[in-house]
Amino acid sequence: MLYYANNINTIAMSDYKWNYCSLGGVTRVKIASGEDIARLGELDQKKWTVLSCPSKGLEFDAATLQILDSNNDGTIHVGEVTGAATWLTSVIKDKDLILKGADTLPLDQINTDNETGARLLKAARQILANLGLEKEEISLADVADRAAIFAKTRFNGDGVITPATAEEAPLQELIAKIVELEGALTDRSGEPGTDADHIEKFYADCAAYSAWKAAADDSVFPYGDKTADALAACEAVKDKVADFFVRCKLIAFNGDCAGAVDVSTDKIAAISGNNLATEGAEIATYPLARPNAEGLLAYDAVNPSWQAAVAACRALALDVDYPNAKGIDEAQWNAVLATFAAYNAWCGAKAGAEVEPLGLEAVNAILKEDRKGALLDLIASDKALEEEANAIAEVDKLLHLYRWFYQFLCNYVTLTDLYTPGRPRRAMFEVGDLYIDERCCNLCFKVEDMGKQAETASYGGMYLIYCNCVHRTKGTSMTIGAVMTDGKLANLRPGKNAIFYDRAGEIWDATVTKIIENPLSIKQAFWSPYRRFANSITERINKRAAEKEAKVNSNMTESAGKVNVPTNPEDKQAGAAAVNKATSSFDIAKFAGIFAAIGLAVGFIGSALVALFAKWYTPLIVLLIIVICISGPSMFLAWQKLRKRNLGTVLNANGWAVNSSILINILFGKTLTTVAKYPVLKNAQDPFAEKKTPCWKKWLRGILCAILVLGIAFGILYWNGTLKKWGLFGGKTAEEPVAEVVETPGETPADAEVTATAAPEN
């Protein structure tokens, strides 16, 4: 039965008052009553969180998912969900009971006001009667074993009968033969059986086999009962005999080729040193006999490896047609083969081979008794209960939807299973927990297509870890993705091993295969620029050190090859003089310049520090500005991403059609990853533990580093005149008077009048 959504116009005109709630920072419809479920067909599809989801690969009851996927296309659409809601609420009196998700349904809650409910109640009572149970309620456990329900019934409406269906022994034996020869079908009772089509085919095969056998006369069997054996014997040597006669024809055509078409003595010589009794396969490749111009195959000169086969052919056919002959020519051989033409044609028309194991006599007896009508009557009696039997199967659907449908809605229409505080029940797309690097990632999902994940998952803004998981005892594997929302990132990398626990508690060995990086927290984003800077500096230093080491090693190797060790006194004295000259060439001017530059830099740093600490709050303001400039953008971007993390991109890559945002905001994200917390050990007796630096030393070290950085920055700004332009360290301001010397003719500079004028504005 297919379910379809109500007409869109009907949905738009619905005046039903829906309740709403906020889940994960998004407004969603609240399913809070049985009436809400009954009215799902009137809910605007734009307000559904999910429009479709896969029917397989979810942590949910598989039978219920299969029931909801009514057209078996592997996807559960909105129309199928609303159809199931309408059907379920129409056969349950108190619709609010659906929200409880109970395993047991009281029979008095089945609504018999409609035809479907009346049929379901009758079927439920039939199930309990078949199981020998007397009670006024039915449970999922009662319908779990279909075979037990139909085990004690002759007819179960599936159109399949078993030997137990028949009451007469001859019919029971006949059904068993049909099952054995025509193939078995599984009855609802779980026993092998047969149906009308197989019965019809069985009798058709019997009739065809009997007619085929009757069509054979003496002309079909030239060698009587041994015709089949004679044909097989002739077929065994047919190709070898034909090869022999062709060789004979070549010799008759050209006698000079006799040696070429006969077996070469060199071939025989090559194996003559071996045990020839073990060389049968090699000898069998030689001609059947030595070819001759007469074209006569002499029986006493046949290749040893073929003598037994030729002897069998003679006994069954050749000696019958040509008794006392010493050999046979090609015409006689062809005449023998021609005698099998009628037999071959008869064999080609063989029919009813399926019943051949019974033998012709038994087949004819079955046709004579003609019990086909009795068997078809049993089939008809069984199919007469088809509606009742299907209703029994329909009870199974009722109980599954009664138990699981509301929970499914909590993962489809809304996402209460994901967002309920404490998460007492996991969402159906969650598969377990990943333990890695002193933390547990609680939000894990199964990956069906890694290619689609790589394309779309990065748009969700989440930090994702993909792992290949292997179950050692079961020998199975799968790929999972884990959402990480807390912890350090230093040790996370592809190839890192972890442990994954599925929803059933089974242990899987996990290996990280891919990481999609995004911010974990604002705190982590604050330190991110500094970590990147430190990592960059470290990489550069390591790279330069490696290059320098390689260059030094290369120069040392090259220099060592050029060293000429002096062996006489004159060369030693010349070498010593060269060393003294090299060491005595100390350029004092160069080193004086270096020390002057260092002193100047120290002076600038000192001046900068003096200006910096002129007022007590100036360092704090400068430090705050620097921190904001460095960490501010990173923190702002992280805040933007953290509050907009969307799980919908991951589900879309797994085949879901997500209609609304599934946000993993900062507050909710904190609940999805738990990090190990250790107590503070005051008296730890660890002889190998590194000594911890006191907090005050760490703070002092940080302050000194900050002062050093600020001093260098101020020194650079002072050096290039930026601070003077800002009016610091001797810079001129607009209000500061500038002394102007006015000289008159005949006066010395010392007697000149000094006039104070205002400096011009810039």
- Paired with 31 in beta bridges are none
Task: Please give the Cα distance from 453 to 447 (Å, whole number).
Answer: 8
Residue 297: is it exposed, middle or buried by C-beta count within 10 angstroms (0-12/13-18/19+)? Answer: buried
What digits encode the pLDDT tens for the residues 228-276? 999 999 999 999 999 999 999 999 988 888 888 888 888 888 888 888 8
User: Computed from CA positions of residues 425, 430, 434, 440, in that sequence, does the dihedral angle turn out positive or negative?
Assistant: negative
What digits encode the pLDDT tens for the residues 313-330? 999 999 899 998 999 999
Whether 12 has a pLDDT exceeding 50, the answer reads no
Residue 19 phi, psi dihedral angles, 5° rounding: -95, 150
Whether 630 has a pLDDT exceeding 90, the answer reads no
Give the pair of three-digit tokens for residue 436: 């890695």
Task: Please give the Cα distance from 188 to 198 (Å, whole number).
Answer: 17
Q: How many residues does the chain have?
A: 762
Task: Indicate the pLDDT class of residue 47, thresholds 50, 70 and 90.
Answer: very high
Alpha-helical (H) ranges within 446-487 are 450-456
pLDDT at 177: 94
User: Looking at residues 648-669, what average pLDDT do you find?
Assistant: 89
User: Computed from CA positions of residues 473, 474, 477, 480, in that sequence, does the dihedral angle turn out positive or negative?
Assistant: negative
Q: Name the least confident of 449-453, 505-509, 690-694.
A: 690-694
Per the CB < 8 A criterion, the answer to whether 210 and 352 are in contact is yes
pLDDT at 716: 67
Residue 507 phi, psi dihedral angles, 5° rounding: -95, 135
Task: Please give the Cα distance from 581 to 559 (Å, whole number).
Answer: 20
β-pairing verdict for 657-658 and 507-516: unpaired
Q: Tell me, what DSSP letter sits at residue 692?
A: P
Per the CB < 8 A criterion, the answer to whether 395 and 30 are in contact is no
**Can you state the angle between helices 522-562 and 618-643, rounded to 10 degrees?**
110
Task: Please give the Cα distance from 55 to 49 (Å, whole number).
Answer: 17
What does the domain layout of the chain look like in residue ranges? 8-152+395-419, 163-215+354-383, 218-266+280-348, 432-518, 520-553+594-644+694-730
Per the CB < 8 A criterion, the answer to whether 237 and 310 are in contact is yes
pLDDT at 308: 93
Residue 268: is it exposed, middle or buried by C-beta count within 10 angstroms (0-12/13-18/19+)? Answer: middle
The angle at the Cα of 408, spanning 407 to 409, to the nearest 5 degrees, equals 90
What digits encode the pLDDT tens for the residues 61-120? 999 999 999 999 999 999 999 999 999 999 999 999 999 999 999 999 999 999 999 999
User: Looking at residues 690-714, what average pLDDT do you find?
Assistant: 69
Task: Please give the Cα distance from 661 to 415 (Å, whole number).
Answer: 11
Alpha-helical (H) ranges within 412-449 are 416-419
* C-alpha closest to that of 380 among 126, 149, 155: 155
- DSSP notation for 626-688: HHHHHHHHHHHHHHHHHHT-BTHHHHHHTT-EE-S--B--HHHHTTTEEE---PPPSS---TT
Task: Please give the Cα distance from 420 to 440 (Å, whole number).
Answer: 19
- Paired with 739 in beta bridges are 756
Task: Please give the Cα distance from 465 to 500 (Å, whole number).
Answer: 12
pLDDT at 753: 46
Answer whether 0.75 is exceeded by the pTM. no
Q: Tell me, what DSSP letter sits at residue 521?
A: -
SS3 per-residue string spanning 75-103: EEEHHHHHHHHHHHHHCECCHHHHHHCCC
- DSSP notation for 568-605: SHHHHHHHHHHHHHHHH---HHHHHHHHHHHHHHHHHH
Task: Please give the Cα distance from 331 to 249 (Å, whole number).
Answer: 13
Which residue has tokens 């004579």? 368
pLDDT at 58: 94
Whether 4 has a pLDDT exceeding 60, the answer reads no
SS3 208: helix
Per the CB < 8 A criterion, the answer to whether 418 and 651 are in contact is no
Q: Name the least confident of 233-242, 463-472, 709-718.
A: 709-718
Task: Please give the Cα distance from 90 to 40 (Å, whole number).
Answer: 13
pLDDT at 93: 96
Mean pLDDT, the chain, integer: 82
pLDDT at 56: 92
Whether 576 has a pLDDT exceeding 90, the answer reads no
SS3 197: helix
* C-alpha closest to that of 378 among 193, 122, 584, 535: 193
Whether 552 has a pLDDT exceeding 90, the answer reads no
Q: Where are the beta strands (DSSP E) in 233-381?
A: 296-298, 327-329
Task: Please give the Cα distance from 302 to 290 (Å, whole number).
Answer: 8
What digits encode the pLDDT tens for the residues 610-620? 555 555 556 56
Helix (H) or strand (E) holding 546: helix 522-562
Residue 601: is it exposed, middle or buried by C-beta count within 10 angstroms (0-12/13-18/19+)? Answer: middle
What digits encode the pLDDT tens for the residues 336-386? 999 999 899 998 888 999 999 999 999 999 999 999 999 999 999 888 878
Task: Please report, for residues 57, 379, 486, 515, the alpha-carbon distance to residue 650 in angstroms, rounded to integers and kept in the order given.
Answer: 15, 52, 19, 14
* C-alpha closest to that of 752 among 761, 740, 760, 762: 740
What digits encode the pLDDT tens for the residues 498-546? 999 999 999 999 999 999 888 776 666 565 666 666 666 767 777 777 7
Whether 574 has a pLDDT exceeding 90, the answer reads no
Task: Please report, for residues 480, 483, 671, the alpha-carbon distance to residue 442 in angstroms, rounded to integers and kept in the order given.
Answer: 12, 8, 8
More confident residue, 729 or 210: 210
- Paired with 646 in beta bridges are 663
User: Computed from CA positions of residues 33, 39, 41, 44, in that sequence, does the dihedral angle turn out positive or negative?
Assistant: negative
Q: Tell me, what DSSP letter sits at residue 255?
A: G
Task: Please give the Cα distance from 513 to 497 (Å, whole number).
Answer: 10
Task: Indicate the pLDDT class of residue 741, thresholds 50, 70 and 90.
Answer: very low
SS3 505: coil
Q: Where are the beta strands (DSSP E) in 356-443?
A: 432-435, 439-441
Helix (H) or strand (E) holding 535: helix 522-562
What digits encode the pLDDT tens for the residues 632-649? 666 666 565 666 788 988
- DSSP notation for 333-373: HHHHHHTTHHHHHHHHT---GGGGGG-HHHHHHHHHH--HH
More confident residue, 545 or 135: 135
Task: Indicate the pLDDT class of residue 749, thresholds 50, 70 and 90.
Answer: very low
Q: Tell me, what DSSP letter sits at residue 292?
A: -
pLDDT at 748: 46
Task: Please report, for residues 396, 515, 608, the alpha-carbon distance to residue 103 in angstroms, rounded to integers and kept in the order given.
Answer: 11, 42, 79
Q: What percent of the chain has pLDDT over 90?
A: 45
User: Looking at residues 475-480, what average pLDDT do you find?
Assistant: 94
Looking at this protein, which amino acid is placed at residue 225?
D
Q: Tell me, what DSSP letter sits at residue 555?
A: H
Rg (CA), the chain: 49
Give the pair of three-digit tokens for residue 318: 């050749």
Residue 739 phi, psi dihedral angles, 5° rounding: -75, 130
pLDDT at 1: 41
Looking at this protein, which amino acid is placed at residue 372?
K
